[in-house]
Chains A and B, each alone.
Chain A
């Protein structure tokens, strides 16, 4: 996209389950789709790791493509010139780390998490990426309510990862999702306050904040100095109250309809009944001179290609962004 904002697209939308999006041909088709839609950078996601997640973790990417340069060459074949960012959830057990169940709220796991972050940082830096986007903590329902010390414990971990990343020229940003425990605006701010602004920023996800009950435009206006990364998507629903605390909320709330027959939470920009004021949000990014990446996400809602096409249309026709 030709714009003062830097636009990228999250490739995870195509990776619906273990046995799809494994062939390089399938990945090329998705990349070509994004290219012709005007995007020239993509965001990677670690997912569950393992050999079927072959754009997921550093080890597997290197097996497939040899090096960062090999990965970039693979992207360039489809007209994509680089990687903006990489999403990683250290709490997601992965084959590469022996399915370790690491918790950021547990200080005893911190050394292991810092170690596990290093290959991501290294490959991301070598590929010219900007942000390691991390899940700050595991789902709220899986652990006791936040205690007074939790923000400090979690913040200290991400400061350490931030130091490692900064040394390689990469930023770390904490991604707000609607299930993690720093859920309210106050909790989220307490976590940000526990981190070093020079090392750690916020990855602001418009749909996730909205589902969690936080207005993304107002939040960005109030805290724009801490926002290092943006993920742009829409939603038609909010958490009705405490749904994020439902046991197994990943399944029961986000996939199982939350008892309200909600079959899909995430939507393309400009969707009918969308709760995110995308135009106002992007205007605010411009007003504050935002310099990071804006990653548009389809996020497993509907047909990935259709959603990408509709997102690109919205950028071109509603946000006035010209294609590359």
Chain B
């Protein structure tokens, strides 16, 4: 996944600073044995400026030894008066936005465009039943658009977002048309929200089109999801939520997760994500290596044991 930070003579930088820093990023990801990358679609303008087109950027990725770009994450700041899945008046805008987005990315073949299906709710109640239904409706419409490009619309549930707990997730998918609205399991995000990632995967596995494998050492026990602007950067007692899989003291049971993925015959991509890995002295490069070590030395064997 696209999150990345390294130190430079002028302070922390991300890989998009220059083609030189992008080259170094891609080489590191390739060296440890990852096959592909995911990105954010708000990088589009940088891609145009630095690489000319999305297809050119993918070629640049391939030149460093990676296969392709698999998923893109659609990051939008939801506001009820302009753009919010729970607000039907904004749905035309949302659908139109995705028509533009899919056209922009049509130069390459993606698997998924990943969205946050719900807005933020800084209170106990979260979205109402009707609001969940509205959100399910708009994502089905958007999914129809993305599928015209052979791309799945898939939903990623942040631990601080409106559709975060098990009841909300189940209700949302009960309303959402399974043909068009897919599910993207993020092991750490679910775990923090006290949703068992394996259980929720098994309940909805037929529409799961991807994973973020990452770990956490903390659940939200302080109602951090109520914090502004988001608990990932403002939680009082948890300065760092995410750790790479294979971390000591991790709460996610990746071995069980992998057995379940195997047993349900999942054959798509699994993405590894390091979000804010540099907090508390962490290091993106090292997290990338350790997680790949874990996948190679622990998870690959489980997956290869299919049917055993």
Contact = CB atoms under 8 A, between A and B. Distances in A.
Asked whether the complex places CB atoms of A and B closer than 8 A, the reply is yes
A305 B286 contact: yes
5 contacts: A29-B290, A303-B7, A310-B24, A312-B32, A316-B30
A160 B297 CA distance: 44
Nearest to B244: A29
B18 to A, nearest CB: 11
B289 A309 contact: yes
B307 interface: no
Going nearest first, the 8 A-B pairs with the smallest beta carbon separation are A309-B28, A33-B289, A313-B31, A313-B27, A36-B293, A305-B285, A32-B293, A312-B31
A29 B287 CA distance: 9
Given A25-B248, A33-B290, A306 B24 contact: yes
Contacts, number: 71
Contact of A272 (B20, B28, B31): B20
Given A25-B248, A303-B7, A303-B285, A313 B296 contact: no
A303 B24 CA distance: 12
Interface in B57-79: 64-65
Nearest to A78: B293
B232 to A, nearest CB: 24
A44 B296 CA distance: 25
B32 A309 contact: yes
Contacts of A312: 31-32
Nearest to A32: B293
B25 to A, nearest CB: 9
A306 B292 contact: no
Contacts of A310: 24, 27-28, 31
Given A303-B7, A305-B286, A309-B31, 7 more contacts: A32-B289, A37-B289, A305-B283, A305-B289, A306-B24, A313-B28, A313-B30
A263 interface: yes
Interface of B: 6-7, 9, 20, 24, 27-28, 30-33, 64-65, 246, 248, 283, 285-286, 288-290, 292-293, 296-297
Contacts of B288: 309
Nearest to B30: A313
A308 B6 CA distance: 14
Interface of A is mostly: helix
Contacts of B285: 303, 305-306, 309
Nearest to B289: A33
A235 interface: no
Interface in A78-120: 78-79
Contacts of B297: 35-36, 79
A310 to B, nearest CB: 6
Contact of B33 (A78, A272, A323): A323
Given A36-B33, A316-B31, A323-B33, A306 B6 contact: yes
A317 interface: yes
Contacts of B28: 306, 309-310, 313
A37 B292 CA distance: 9
A316 B24 contact: no
Contacts of B9: 263
Nearest to B288: A309
Interface in A282-323: 303, 305-306, 308-310, 312-313, 316-317, 323
B289 A79 contact: no
A32 B290 contact: yes
